[in-house]
Amino acid sequence: MIHIKSFKEIYWINQPEFPVTPIPNDKDPSEDLYKTDKDIGPEFRAEIRGQTQVMKCRIEIDKGYIGNGRSSLFRLRVWPLNDIWVGRPQDGMCRNAWVIHDPLYETKGNMRHGFKGVRFYCNGAPARLSRKACDQLYRAIYEIEAPDEKRISKKDYFWLRTWGWMKWGKAKK
C-alpha cells in the first residue's frame, strides 16, 4: 500500500461531481445531514512529495454515505461554557469538499482500505493518505468550487490543520 504524506500539486482529470441530497436529522434537528446520491469517483493527477513521478489517483465513495456537509465546522463541548463552534458556517462550496474529506478522515486516510465504501488508489494500487494530505485535498476541491475564494479556503485549511486531529479516525455515530 502506498502512503502519501503530502501533495505538491493536484491536477483534476475530471471535474468532480458531488451529488448529495439533504436528509432529516432525527438526533439533532439543528444540524443538517446529507447523503450521497450516487457513487463518486473523481480522478486527479498528483505530484507527491518524495516521489519522482506524477501519479494518477482515484477516490471512490459509494452511494449512501451520510455526513453533515461541513468538515471545517464542528462543535467543541466546553464545560461549564456553552458549546463553541470552530470554523465557519456551511455553504455549498464547503459542502462539496466534505464529500471527499470526511470519509477519508473517518478511515484515517484510507488506512482501513474499503471501510464504509471508501477507497483511494494511486496508479491502480491501494493508497493511504496522511491527515495533511486529506486536508490538502479538501482545499483543492474548495478552490475548484470557488476559485475566487482562496482566502476562505486557506482559512478552512488552517482550521482543519489546527483542530482536525480530534476527528481523525473517528467514525460518525
> pLDDT digit string (tens) for 15-70?
667 788 888 888 877 677 888 888 888 888 888 887 778 889 888 888 888 877 66
Q: What is the mean pLDDT of residues 134-161?
A: 82
Collapsing DSSP to helix, strand or coil, 46 comes out as strand
pLDDT of residue 90: 55
pLDDT of residue 89: 54
Q: Among candidates 88, 94, 59, 71, which has minimal Cα distance to 161?
A: 71
pLDDT of residue 16: 67
Work out the number of other CB atoms within 10 angstroms of the CB of residue 9: 12
Distances from the Cα of 13 to the Cα of 58, 71, 137, angstroms: 10, 24, 14
Distances from the Cα of 45 to the Cα of 2, 6, 7, 10, 134, angstroms: 15, 14, 10, 6, 15
Q: 85 or 97: whose pLDDT is higher?
A: 97
Grid cell 468532480 is found at 16
Q: pTM here?
A: 0.79
Can you give the residue ranges of every domain in the chain?
A: 2-163
Q: 27 or 114: whose pLDDT is higher?
A: 27
**What's the CA gap between 100 and 89, in Å, rounded?**
18
**What's the CA gap between 133 and 129, in Å, rounded?**
6
